[in-house]
Chain A
Amino acid sequence: MSGYLAGTTAILCINLIFAYGIFVTAASGQINLGGAGFQAIGGYATGWLTSEAQWPMGLSIVAAVAITALVGFLISFPVLRTRGVYMVLATFAFGEVVAGFLLHTDTFGGAMGMVVPFHIGLGILVLSALVVTLLTFYLMATRLGLTMRAINDDEDASVVMGVNVRAVQVAAFTIGGAFTGLSGALYALNFGFIEAQYFNSLLSIYVLLFVLIGGVQTAWGPLAGSLFFTLLPELFRVGGSWRYLIFGVVIVVMMMLRPEGIVTRSMIRRLSPRRLFARPALGSADAR
């Protein structure tokens, strides 16, 4: 495998885990524009634990994930007091505060960044991405996932049906925080160096776009979005500004033509093998 391909795959895996972290909250109807903040906490926790506290690598990753899950849990309470545009702004502010804090704190290297003494290879990255993807698919199939979907579709109706909306949203933030933290930890360990400037608001914006363009209705969405945005530049074979210009045009056109994202629930239903091979039941919605 060439170095270039390996680098692209590593970034794809990290972004995919990151995207699933944002997806879990988005699937329950909350937009998190502070993703880079969570990722930075995961990355810096790993960096500090391995280099300063000299913890073993595995334990550091677990600790980093636990810390970001805790942060997600705690931050969900003030954030959930807001909704809509206000929530976007609250999470955006959270990301900026984290980046500003890390940039200014000398314990974490300040503007100089931090060197991480361990390195993990591509194998673990791919495996982690696979595990997170399968976990999310499983999550969306559980009762919790079902209530998340219900809240996304209609919050008031969910309340009427007896869903504890607050508990589900807090859970979504906690799980999302854990996934995002894992992506930060893996980023730190794969690149061996972290700096606060990397975790900027643009990163939060891009990962949110991965998720929203991919689609939040099914767990396929982040996968489609991440692949789409990683492979699109390969397709055009252009670099730098042209790439982002094309991204921008694609985003605007996508929002006009297919605002629910690339993968929608009805599309999955249409393509599912059960439907392709089964005779439609009499009187069902599909029996046209």
Chain B
Amino acid sequence: MNAVSSVTKSRRDLFGPAIAAAVVCTLVAAAIGIGGIVIARQVVSGLLLGAIYMTVAVAFTLTIGVLNFLNFTIPTMFMLTGMAAWGLLSSGYLAFASRGAWLVALLFGVAVAVVASLIVERFTFRYLKMRHGDATEHAIPLVSSLGFLMIFENLVILSMGSDSQRFAVPFKSDLHIAGLIIGAPQLASFVLAVAVVALLSFVLKRTKIGRALRTIAENPDTASLLGVDVGRVVPVVFILAGLLAGVAGALFTVNYGDVSPLMGDNVGTKAIAAMILGGIGSIWGAIAGGLVVGLAETLSIQFFGGDSVSMTVWGLVLVIMIVRPKGLFGGATIGKGKM
């Protein structure tokens, strides 16, 4: 491909997203202009919430993009992180870490999420590949992941109760920027979420494993002909998904200070909405979708009250699906290859 065509191609690719971004920015600017500082605060908290949706949406979009698999255990990984961290913290084993205990607990939580994700891989993809040689036959992994969702969620309820628990984080410094109050943990988590996603984007684009993942997304059979060890690369997708969901869960726990066995459900559905909005299989789409959903949520609470959130978010999704079924950023970014 010569330089000229690659330039025109990238221009064409950016056209739709640019319009979408412009529309969103105009709406936000108009809202701030009309509503003043109150709305500006809502916009900021919407973006901070959106960063969490974005990270979970990227986990969804990655598994669908590479494996063509809607992994319903991703919200469970999110929840497992928070609950495992709380469980370890409240058990008192972390006395040695004194003031850093919460951080150790959260890292432990993320590790639990990654291990759980690998367990799911072992009993869905690896098993089916061994037995049938084809893991996307019908809806098997989807149904298995629903089974795992029930297993993990109820294991947690049985071992730690179904109540919501307090997870205290020892810092409470707020930043005051031009009349906006931003909690330091929120800001830190926003930056961390963006950093994690940017890192993932880099890994997919520049590293050997990233190239292998993209090849599998294009066509698994061709990938293995070209020397990609598909059996070793597939677990990487699950590790990354567990890691992303785990990081999002840890950030959510720090931000809101609450964990519960059901904390993943709401975030999971919003992340799915974000993914559809942005375009399934597109990392940048998931990022934009996550931020849009976060904004839509806080702004619709502000303007129409608490009950209107799912109506606004899913109404937006429905409109997008009818007007532009491939989503804001969708396109042929990721293949429809079968495992």
Contacts and interface: CB of A to CB of B under 8 A. Distances in A.
A251 B68 contact: no
B248 interface: no
B128 to A, nearest CB: 8
B311 interface: yes
B127 interface: yes
Contacts of A100: 309-315
Interface stretch (B8-16, B47-55, B84-92, B135-143): B135-143
A166 B266 CA distance: 35
B137 A259 contact: yes
B140 A255 contact: yes
A121 B149 CA distance: 35
Interface in B136-187: 137-140, 142-144, 146-155, 157-158, 162
A259 B308 contact: no
Chain A, interface size: which category?
Answer: 35 or more
A97 B70 contact: no
B123 A256 contact: yes
A245 B158 contact: yes
Given A31-B139, A103-B310, A85 B69 contact: yes
A90 B320 CA distance: 11
A92 interface: yes
B240 interface: no
Nearest to B310: A100
Contact of A245 (B72, B123, B154, B309): B154
A213 interface: yes
Contacts of B307: 103-104, 110-111
A244 B150 contact: yes
A99 B308 CA distance: 11
Tell which of A94, A100, A205, A249 has the most Cβ of chain B within 10 Å: A100
A255 B144 contact: yes
Contacts of B317: 93, 96-97
A260 B151 CA distance: 21
A248 B314 contact: no
Interface residues of B, number: 52
Contacts of A54: none
Contacts of B158: 241-242, 245
Tell which of A81, A97, A101 has the most Cβ of chain B within 10 Å: A97
B17 interface: no
Interface of B is mostly: helix
A223 B107 CA distance: 46
Contacts of A94: 318
A158 B278 CA distance: 34
Contact of A99 (B123, B143, B310): B310
Contacts of B153: 244
B273 interface: yes
B64 interface: yes
A252 B148 contact: yes
Interface in A236-278: 241-242, 244-245, 247-252, 255-256, 259-260
Nearest to B157: A241
A209 B315 contact: no
A248 B150 contact: yes
Contacts of B128: 256, 259
Nearest to B63: A85
Interface string A47-86: 0000000000000000000000000000000100110111
A110 B146 CA distance: 29
Contact of A244 (B123, B143, B154, B315): B154
A93 B321 contact: yes
Given A97-B314, A242-B154, A259-B138, A248 B70 contact: no
Given A97-B314, A97-B318, A259-B138, A212 B308 contact: no
Contacts of B315: 97, 100-101
Contacts of A252: 123, 144, 147-148, 151
A248 B147 contact: yes
A155 B318 CA distance: 27
A81 B124 CA distance: 28
Interface of B: 64, 68-70, 72, 123-124, 127-128, 131-132, 137-140, 142-144, 146-155, 157-158, 162, 269, 272-273, 276, 280, 304, 307-315, 317-318, 321-322, 325, 336
Given A100-B311, A248-B152, 6 more contacts: A85-B70, A205-B146, A213-B143, A251-B146, A252-B147, A256-B144
Interface of A: 31, 78, 81-82, 84-86, 88-90, 92-94, 96-97, 99-101, 103-104, 110-111, 201, 205, 209, 212-213, 241-242, 244-245, 247-252, 255-256, 259-260
13 contacts: A86-B280, A88-B70, A88-B142, A90-B321, A100-B315, A103-B307, A111-B307, A201-B269, A242-B154, A244-B150, A244-B153, A248-B150, A251-B146
